[in-house]
Amino acid sequence: MKPHPIHPALVHFPLGLLLTATIADLAHLLGIWPETRFAAWLMAAGLIAALPAMAAGLYDFRKLPEPLVPHALRHMGAIALAWLGYAVALYLRRSTLAAPADAPTASLAASVASALVLSFGGWLGGELVYRYGAGRIAE
C-alpha cells in the first residue's frame, strides 16, 4: 500500500495562522482590535508551521506526474512569495513581539498582499489535488 501524502494535511495549520494574522491586522486597521502583537505572534507561528508543510510538499513533488509539474511550480512559487512576504511583514514589526506597539504601514500592507498571494497559491494547490488528482492513491 502506498503511503498517503502528508503535505495536504500539514498546510491547514500555516494557512489558518497566516490568514488569521491578516484578519487581525484588518481588525486593527478598522479599529476593532487595539493592538498588533496578536497578529505578529500568529505570523511567527504560521511561518514556523509552514516549514514542515513546505518540506513535505517538496518530498511529494518528486512523485508528481510530469504533466502536473508546471502547475505545481506555479503553486510553489506563489506559496514561497507569500511566505517571504509574511516574513518581511514580521521583520518590520519585530518589536511588537515583545511589547504592544503599532505595526508600520509597510508591514500591514505586506500582510494583506501576502494573504492575497497565499490564497491564490492555496487555490492552485487545491486545483492540483481536486482537479488533477495529485497525491491520489491508486487502488
Q: Cβ distance 42 to 21 under 8 Å?
A: yes
How confident is the model over 72-94, as pLDDT tens digits?
999 999 999 999 999 999 999 99
How confident is the model over 95-106, as pLDDT tens digits?
888 877 778 899
Kindly state the cell numbers that stand for 3.
503511503
**b/e map 85-95, b = 16+ CB within 10 Å:** bbbbbbebbee
Length of the chain: 139
Q: Which residues, including other chains, have CB under 8 Å from residue 137's CB and lie 6 or more apart? A: 1, 2, 4
Kindly state the cell numbers that stand for 43.
505570523
What pTM did the predictor assign? 0.91
